[in-house]
Copies of this chain bind each other. A is one copy, B any other.
Amino acid sequence: MKEATYIHGYSNEESLRLHLQANVLESIIHNDSIFPNNSRILEAGCGVGAQTRILASKNPKSNFISVDVSEDSVREAKRIVDKTNISNVEIKQADIYKLPFKSETFDSVIVCFVLEHLNNPVQALTELKRVLKKGGSLMAIEGDHGSAFFHPASKYANDAINSQIQLQKLNGGDANIGRKLFPLFQAINLEYISISPKIVYVDPTKPKLAEDFLKNTFTAMIEGVRENAIQNRIIKKQIFEKGIMDLNQIIESKGSFSYTFFKGVGIKK
């Protein structure tokens, strides 16, 4: 069985980062994550429930089943859903490659920040399509670390970001998967495919976004691979640290930072 390798790990810190990230990105990536009332929706790879919370609140008259392969994540997602009194979500442990659902069960299927971590995204998408009703919609949201660019220029910051990209590749994932949503959707023969870029731009006129997205979401995510990237000799400690410092000084330096997410929707024939 192909296991998803989640390179960011399962620490409490990472869980907090994921919830923060979900809040920051809500208006950017979920503004149009709206489904008809009474939809039966599968969220695959829900992790600690960071997106689940948002999707379920935005669609109170739809019913979600959110699954994840990790037992720990499922436990945490259940805790979050109970704590926030969300009643339209059922959380289950399940493998995205081998879902415990009959074919054509769901009106819509969502994957958010999941495909990037998989060894075989086409196989996972094929399985997601199997459980989707004919005419149902598949929605995928993914980042693309190769889309990050900033001022002032820093070779160290580029190296630190690239170390994350390389580590993810080493683990069978793809940190630059956002730009590939179109061919992935086409590979499983969806129709009416529509891919939208969602760019996040930060400069000193946006101090909250700088704090929440650039520092606590993006840079924190890069920082999260520190030990792993250094141990795997992908990058030297001094270079990594300097890179993180440079990313953290972009706003002080009156610079800017841009990053693009991609949201794809397609219909099962």
Interface membership of chain A positions 186-204, coded 1 if the CB is closer than 8 angstroms to chain B and 0 otherwise: 1000000111110101011
Chain B residues in 8 Å Cβ range of A193: 205
Closest to A264 in B: B203
CB pair A204–B179 under 8 Å, yes or no, is no
Mark the stretch among A4-12, A79-87, A147-155, A212-220 that contacts chain B. Answer: A147-155
Interface membership of chain A positions 159-185, coded 1 if the CB is closer than 8 angstroms to chain B and 0 otherwise: 000000000000000001001111100
CB pair A256–B201 under 8 Å, yes or no, is no
A197-B199, A201-B197 given as contacts; is B149 within 8 A of A179 (CB)?
yes
Number of interface residues, chain A, beta carbon within 8 A: 28
CB pair A254–B186 under 8 Å, yes or no, is yes
Closest chain-B Cβ to A35's Cβ sits at a distance in Å of: 22
Chain B residues in 8 Å Cβ range of A181: 256
CB pair A199–B260 under 8 Å, yes or no, is yes
CB pair B146–A149 under 8 Å, yes or no, is yes
State whether the Cβ of A258 lies closer than 8 Å to any Cβ in chain B: yes
Chain B residues in 8 Å Cβ range of A241: none
CB pair A256–B151 under 8 Å, yes or no, is no
Closest chain-B Cβ to A168's Cβ sits at a distance in Å of: 15
A199-B199, A203-B195 given as contacts; is B147 within 8 A of A182 (CB)?
no
The 8 Å CB contact of A254, one of B176, B183, B199, is B183
State whether the Cβ of A135 lies closer than 8 Å to any Cβ in chain B: no
Chain B residues in 8 Å Cβ range of A186: 254
CB pairs A–B below 8 angstroms (11 shown): A144-B149, A147-B149, A149-B179, A150-B179, A151-B180, A179-B255, A183-B255, A195-B256, A197-B201, A197-B258, A199-B260
Kindly list the 10 A-B residue pairs having the minimum CB-CB distance in the complex, ordered from nearest: A182-B203, A197-B201, A151-B179, A199-B199, A197-B199, A183-B254, A179-B256, A151-B180, A182-B256, A146-B149
